């Protein structure tokens, strides 16, 4: 019971924080029932490098197509603008093609500033998705602190394969 109260409390607090895009602390996955908030660039690299297989996660980049083409994390899938319909459509396509399994594959959300990712995180949680990670900072901030721990690419999204 206490665990569920923590989850409800976390979601309520997060909604308030996401509206202003200020996050003070990053709870651990075990404290939030599968939801994770990543608040710094080193933590993102550590998290991405902590998976045994890239098939355990899907990194969704919600920046505009033009920004994505300039540079992106190599494995990222671009959802131009990050609308709710586009997000669900892409997850359904990836599920149909075996690239994503709902509530087993972790969804990691990143955008230009953190706002679209916050909106997408809240939407997916509301829709019942269980393994969702919100990156509070944007891609530009990630590039400022880039340490080379994750491969970067430029060009079209590989999502055309889905």
Structural domain including 48 reads 2-161
Interior/surface letters 7-45, b for 16+ CB within 10 angstroms, e for the rest: beebeeebeebbeeeebeeebeeeebeebbbbbebebbb
Handedness of CA 22, 129, 56, 155 (dihedral sign): negative
Q: How many domains does the chain have?
A: 1
pTM of the model: 0.77
- For residue 110, pLDDT over 70 is answered with yes
Q: What is the pLDDT of residue 158?
A: 79
**% of the chain surpassing 90 pLDDT:** 54
Q: Which comes out higher in pLDDT, residue 43 or 14?
A: 43
Per-residue model confidence as pLDDT tens digits over 144-153: 888 888 889 9
Tokens of 150: 């994750």
- Min mean pLDDT across 16-25, 30-39, 54-63 is at 16-25
Per-residue model confidence as pLDDT tens digits over 44-65: 999 998 888 878 999 999 999 9
CATH code of residue 57:
3.40.250.10
Predicted confidence band at 11 (pLDDT cuts at 50, 70, 90)? low
Q: What is the pLDDT of residue 47?
A: 93
């Amino acid at each position: 019971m206490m665990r569920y109260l923590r989850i409800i409390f976390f979601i309520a607090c997060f909604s308030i924080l996401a509206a202003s895009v200020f996050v003070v602390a990053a709870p651990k996955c075990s404290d939030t029932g599968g939801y994770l908030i990543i608040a710094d660039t080193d933590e993102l690299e550590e998290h991405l490098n902590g998976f045994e297989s890239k098939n355990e996660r899907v990194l969704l980049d919600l920046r505009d197509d033009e920004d994505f083409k300039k540079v992106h994390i190599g494995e990222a899938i671009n959802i131009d603008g990050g609308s709710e319909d586009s997000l669900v459509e892409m997850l359904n396509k990836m599920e149909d093609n075996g690239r994503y399994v709902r509530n087993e594959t972790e969804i990691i959300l990143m955008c230009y500033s953190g706002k679209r990712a916050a909106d997408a995180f809240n939407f997916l949680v509301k829709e019942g998705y269980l393994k969702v990670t919100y990156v509070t900072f944007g891609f530009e901030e990630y590039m400022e602190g880039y340490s080379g721990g994750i491969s970067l690419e430029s060009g079209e999204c590989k999502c055309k394969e889905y």
